[in-house]
Structure 1
Amino acid sequence: MSMLFTGGTVVTMDSAIGELARGDVLVSGERIVAVGADLLLHPQARGAEIVDTTGKIVSPGFVDTHRHAWQAQLRRSIPDVTDLGAYVTSTLARIAPAYTAHDVYVGTRLAALSALDAGITTMLDFSHNSRSAGHSDAAIQALVDTGIRGVHASMAPHFGDWDQQWPQDVERLHAAHSSGLVRVRLATLATAEFAGPLPAYGPRLAALARDLDIGVSVDAVFGTPSSTAISGWARTGCSARTSR
Structure 2
Amino acid sequence: MTPIDLLIDNGTVITMDPQRRVLENASVAVTGDRIVAVGPADELRARYQPRQTINAHRKAVLPGLIDSHAHAGHALLRTMGTGGAPGAWMAAAQQIYTSASDEHFWHAEAALTALEKVKAGVTTGVSLFGGGDSIMRVDDPKYARAHCDAIERAGTRAVLAVGPSRPPMPRRYTDWASEPPRETEIDADTMIAVCEAIVRENHGRADGRVSIAVSLPVFAPMHEEGHHALRAQFERQATDGAALARRHGLGLTQDGHRNGTIELARELGLLGARSYMSHSIDLTEADMRAALETGTSIVHNPSAIMSIRGRCPVPELIDLGVNVVIGSDGAAPDRGYDMFRHMFQCMHYHRRHFRDADVLPHGKVLEMVTIDAAKALGLADEIGSLEVGKKADIVLVDLFKPHLMPLNMPVLRVTSFANAADVDTTIVNGRVLMTGRQVLGIDEAEVMEEAQVACDRMLERSGLRHLTDAPARLWGAAHY
Q: Match of 1:212? A: 248
The alignment's TM-score, normalised by the length of structure 2, stands at 0.45
Return the letter of the residue paired with 2:248. Answer: L
Return the letter of the residue paired with 1:191. Answer: F
SS, match of residue 191 in structure 2: coil
SS, match of residue 10 in structure 2: strand
Distance across 2 between alignment mates of 1:173 and 1:189: 18
Partner of residue 192 from structure 2, selected from 164, 167, 174: 167
RMSD (Å) for aligned C-alpha atoms: 2.8
Distance across 2 between alignment mates of 1:232 and 1:92: 25
What is the CA deviation profile of residues 87-138 of structure 1, one whole-angstrom value per residue up to 9, with x for unaligned ones? 3122223565201111011111211221121111111111124242211111
Partner of residue 145 from structure 1, selected from 138, 147, 153: 153
Pick closer, same or farther for the CA change 1:235–1:67 going to 2, 3 Å.
closer
Distance across 2 between alignment mates of 1:81 and 1:5: 49
Return the letter of the residue paired with 1:100. Answer: D
Deviation, structure 1 residue 190 = 0.7
Pick closer, same or farther for the CA change 1:126–1:238 going to 2, 3 Å.
closer
Partner of residue 243 from structure 1, selected from 256, 276, 282: 276
Q: Match of 1:41? A: 46
- Does the 8 A contact of 2:216 with 2:238 survive in 1? no
Return the letter of the residue paired with 2:214. Answer: L
The residue correspondences of 1:216-227 to structure 2 (distance < 5 A) are 216-223=252-259, 227=260
Structure 1 unaligned regions, length at least 5: none
Deviation, structure 1 residue 65 = 0.9
- Does the 8 A contact of 1:109 with 1:142 survive in 2? yes
Pick closer, same or farther for the CA change 1:105–1:157 going to 2, 3 Å.
farther
Return the letter of the residue paired with 2:263. Answer: S
The residue correspondences of 1:124-203 to structure 2 (distance < 5 A) are 124-128=126-130, 129-130=136-137, 131-157=139-165, 160-161=172-173, 164=186, 165-179=190-204, 180-191=208-219, 193=224, 202-203=238-239
What is the CA deviation profile of residues 57-88 of structure 1, one whole-angstrom value per residue up to 9, with x for unaligned ones? 110001111111222122244433697x3331
Q: What is the percent sequence identity of the aligned residues? A: 26
SS, match of residue 107 in structure 2: helix
- Does the 8 A contact of 2:124 with 2:156 survive in 1? yes
Distance across 2 between alignment mates of 1:90 and 1:127: 16
Distance across 2 between alignment mates of 1:18 and 1:239: 33
- Does the 8 A contact of 1:93 with 1:160 survive in 2? no
The residue correspondences of 1:64-79 to structure 2 (distance < 5 A) are 64-79=67-82
- Does the 8 A contact of 2:6 with 2:52 survive in 1? yes
Deviation, structure 1 residue 31 = 0.6
SS, match of residue 14 in structure 1: coil
